[in-house]
Structure 1
């Protein structure tokens, strides 16, 4: 039976980044992934699933060697973030105000995963099991016996990076709390009449926001939040009909667009009741799934990656048993409060802008108006969102 320091179930963005960050510490790591993503070719259409990668997440990707490849493929950096409900309350955040060249970059999820997996495949301390999947596992005092579909392996630590419906979390008996938002989001890829922009923006409506994420060239990714029945109706439209609906419902600053593709997903919140149970650790969506309104999902997952690396590195440096459950518990202490704070902030934002009363509408627009004219407060919030 093969033995590893860590076995990570899930080779997505968070799982692959975690493998590389722990392998940097000299640990022997295995990654279990069901299927590899489609290889990149320059002429491919843009994927629907994209992420707004923060500066902090960019630094992690640079650290593990993936950013260089992503930069050679395609990404769209942005300097500004615009938020408003009414035009009078428009608030804009600019990277210049916090001394940075940009706030982040819009990147297709598949390209991030591909670049990370390229590094995983070439790392001497990492073994990739793909295609493979977890069947079961048994914890005991010194480690974990892990049964995969192909073979059984041993590990000192089992990491769940297998998504919101985590099999590892379920087998570990870790429950979740959360709810459905009774809303869905439609992702829409478009050609734009405008050249690549350096701004991403979001306008709020009682039914949910609409957002524009710039993509390379004359392309953009639109996000349309609405009640589930309305998103279902929009899904039945032809691309031309959807284009007309976008032009009627999105702000005029979007300009003329041509709809190329679309998909949708329901909005839910899930938070694991614990991030660590003996020698099992949860990270990314396995631990927390958040309202995607501010695009913080994968950025929170990358913060998990850095926190676990920090905890284990400090334990090794102090001569402690790095995989002792008491040491692993420090990871949850580092991350749970921060994740809960961001999740609660997104819920408060969602509740505020969906509230129909005129009083609430006046208060939230006044808040944006004031925030745009309070540079110290605005820049602190911006730096936090960037992970700085």
Structure 2
């Protein structure tokens, strides 16, 4: 027997669960499919190694879904400052002291209580599952993947691996960078693999919870600090943090081979002096970095959102925020399609969704590439240029704050000079 829904969402991660909740709140019947169940939350457990920097714009969206309060009830760490600087060791560094080129974005300057929150991905996902479960129109089907999708002019039919069949007027692929829905829709991708990989390390450090997240840029890639919550009464005077170390695959393979004591010594030596004294390494993981963009966002009655449509260099932690922006846009377009002609897969409105999101996602991709290419080299003129650029940003708080407002999701547009730079970068036409 085939179960009928308005929308089928494949992928119950953060973006898929947000879409299910939002569309359920629009009064639609929604099936959300995933092989896995929502990750459990244990307040006594150590932090999830996967964390995201949720922007103020994402917080507003999650609040509209009824998920933000659930996140705050679990664990979320506000950060009020974000700092970046160049750590490249080179004789030219003496010409421009770090204090003149370090750029700090401060919530006080923006009249905001904070710039965002660092939240464990499992916490965000579980809060969104709880919000989705609270919607009568949302059905969660966990434990089975999608075996096939067929579509005609009236509907799509989804067959699950366990034999269940579902019909819907629209299928949304929110199933990540290796999206099967994208493949089933016949949508290709452009992909560029970076020379770097990223290693994420969950640590405890001596000191109170910090309110700053920072990145020091090296030719091999940035090294970043993201504050998490207090370690509690079990480890008095200590706090949790997530570290990110970008480097060559060979260097990260060496780091992964070290025991915790040796790795801790390596981190304290290689990270900027701003890193607090570490006391414990809890977990570590590494992953390759690639820029990927779907050639189209929809085909017939199948449409993509989040990492299924695009992945970017994670330098500024904007990936999930872009995914939430996709979700908001797609939800709005589906609502308009239903009002206009009753079909959520209307090509006119799905094209509007792509026209709205592709340029915005592309701009963020190219902005991250601009940072990647500008900082990941030792060429003296470029080294001096980037230090002068950071110094200029420090000296021009208005422009600096415009960038911060864009990253926070307060402003929809990049400052004009950054838009011009990203539009001139090679490869833009292929994205």
TM-score between the two structures when normalised by the length of structure 1: 0.98
Q: Which residue of the partner structure matches residue 79 of structure 2?
A: 78
Q: Which residue of the partner structure matches residue 335 of structure 1?
A: 357
Q: How does 1:241-280 map to 2 (within 5 A)?
A: 241-258=262-279, 259-280=281-302
Unaligned residue ranges in structure 2 (runs of 5+): 88-97, 231-238, 411-431
Q: CA deviation at 1:323?
A: 2.5
The yes-or-no answer on 1:386 pairing with 2:400 is no
SS at match of 2:303: strand
Which of residues 146, 150, 153 is equivalent to 1:134? 146
Q: Partners in 1 of 2:337 and 2:282 — Cα distance?
A: 50
The yes-or-no answer on 1:97 pairing with 2:114 is no
Q: Which residue of the partner structure matches residue 310 of structure 2?
A: 288
Q: Which residue of the partner structure matches residue 308 of structure 1?
A: 330
Q: Which residue of the partner structure matches residue 368 of structure 1?
A: 390
Unaligned residue ranges in structure 1 (runs of 5+): none
Residue-pair matches, total: 388
Q: Which residue of the partner structure matches residue 321 of structure 1?
A: 343
Contact 1:14 1:305 in 2 (8 A): yes
Which of residues 330, 352, 361 is equivalent to 2:374? 352
The yes-or-no answer on 1:68 pairing with 2:81 is no
Contact 1:239 1:261 in 2 (8 A): no
Contact 1:193 1:257 in 2 (8 A): yes
Q: Partners in 2 of 1:281 and 1:97 — Cα distance?
A: 39
The yes-or-no answer on 1:236 pairing with 2:237 is no
The yes-or-no answer on 1:55 pairing with 2:56 is yes
The yes-or-no answer on 1:120 pairing with 2:136 is no
TM-score between the two structures when normalised by the length of structure 2: 0.88
Q: Partners in 1 of 2:151 and 2:404 — Cα distance?
A: 42
Q: CA deviation at 1:320?
A: 5.3
Indicate the RMSD between aligned Cα atoms, in angstroms: 1.1
Residues 208-227 of structure 1 show CA distances to partners (whole Å, capped at 9, x for unaligned) of 00000000111110000001
Q: CA deviation at 1:315?
A: 3.1
Q: CA deviation at 1:375?
A: 1.5
Q: Partners in 1 of 2:54 and 2:316 — Cα distance?
A: 11
Q: Partners in 1 of 2:405 and 2:338 — Cα distance?
A: 31
SS at match of 1:115: helix
Q: Partners in 1 of 2:387 and 2:151 — Cα distance?
A: 53
Residues 62-90 of structure 1 show CA distances to partners (whole Å, capped at 9, x for unaligned) of 11111111101111000000000052310
Q: Partners in 1 of 2:136 and 2:320 — Cα distance?
A: 26
SS at match of 1:253: coil
Q: Partners in 1 of 2:348 and 2:117 — Cα distance?
A: 37
